[in-house]
Amino acid sequence: MSTSSLPPWRLCIPLNDPAILKQCIPGCEEIEERSNGEFAAIMRFEFGQLKARFRGKVHLFDRDPPNGYRLVGEGEGSVAGFAKSSAVVALADTPEGTRLTYQLGANVGGKIAQLGQRLLMSTTKKMQEGGG
* Per-residue pLDDT tens digits for 4-39: 888 898 888 888 899 998 988 888 999 999 998 999
Residue 15's pLDDT is: 86
Instruction: Please give the Cα distance from 38 to 30 (Å, whole number).
Output: 14
Q: What is the pTM of this model?
A: 0.75
Residue 88's pLDDT is: 95
- Scanning the chain, the segments in alpha helix (DSSP H) are 8-12, 18-24, 111-128
- Per residue in 65-113, pLDDT tens? 999 999 999 988 767 788 888 999 999 999 988 999 989 888 878 876 7
Question: Nearest-CA neighbor of 91 among 62, 70, 60, 68?
Answer: 68
